[in-house]
Amino acid sequence: MTTQTKQKYTAEFKENAVKRANESNNVAETARELGMKENTLTNWVYHYSHESKRDKPVRTDEHLYDELKRLKKENGRLTEERDLWTRR
């Protein structure tokens, strides 16, 4: 039984492989062309696609405060409108 050594790939190679796989929409074929396992490339594609989603900006407290202020104002207006309709 032979043991295989784990092959190391550079970050640049990984990024190019993922880009190529996304462009071709065929991970298996791209992996064969690059001489690597399909599973490895599939993992990279998954990792890199989820990584970009994590970079989205997070709502700040200031934004939440402004939203709360707006909603309280709207709630007051709607309460007044409701009261007008119920008095009639």
Tell whether the model's pLDDT for residue 78 goes beyond 90: yes
Given a contact cutoff of 8 angstroms between Cβ atoms, the answer to whether 3 and 10 are in contact is no
- Are the CB atoms for 15 and 41 separated by under 8 Å? no
- Please state, for a pLDDT cut of 90, what percent of the chain lies above it: 42
CB 18 within 8 A of CB 48: yes
Q: What is the pTM of this model?
A: 0.52
pLDDT higher than threshold 90 for residue 3? no
Position 58 scores a pLDDT of: 60
Q: Which of 41-45, 47-51, 55-59 has the lowest mean pLDDT?
A: 55-59
